[in-house]
Copies of this chain bind each other. A is one copy, B any other.
Amino acid sequence: MADQYDVLAIGNAIVDVIASHPDSFLESNGIPKGTMRLISAEEASALYAKMGPGREISGGSAANTAAGVATLGGRAAFVGRVSNDQLGKVFAHDIRAAGVDYRTPAAEGGPPTGQCLIVVSPDAQRTMSTYLGSCQEVDETDVDAEMVKAARLIYFEGYLWDPPAPIRAIRKAKAIARETGRKVALTLSDVFCVEGHREDFREMMQSGAVDIVFANENEAKSLFQTDSVEAAVEGLAALVPLAVLTRSEKGAIVVNGVGREEVPVTPAARVLDTTGAGDLFAAGFLTGYAQGRGLRDCAVMGTIAAAEIIEHYGARPEADLQARVKAVLG
Contact = CB atoms under 8 A, between A and B. Distances in A.
Interface of A: 19-20, 48-49, 51-58, 67, 85-87, 90, 93-95, 97-98, 112, 313-314, 316, 318
A210 to B, nearest CB: 30
A67 B54 CA distance: 13
A86 B49 CA distance: 14
A97 B53 contact: yes
B56 A57 contact: yes
Copies of this subunit = 2
Closest 10 CB pairs of A and B: A56-B56, A86-B86, A53-B94, A53-B97, A52-B97, A53-B98, A86-B87, A55-B57, A53-B316, A85-B86
A94 B54 contact: yes
A85 B89 CA distance: 13
A11 B190 CA distance: 44
Contacts of A86: 85-87, 112
B87 A51 contact: no
Contacts of A56: 55-57, 90
Nearest to A15: B56
A51 B112 CA distance: 24
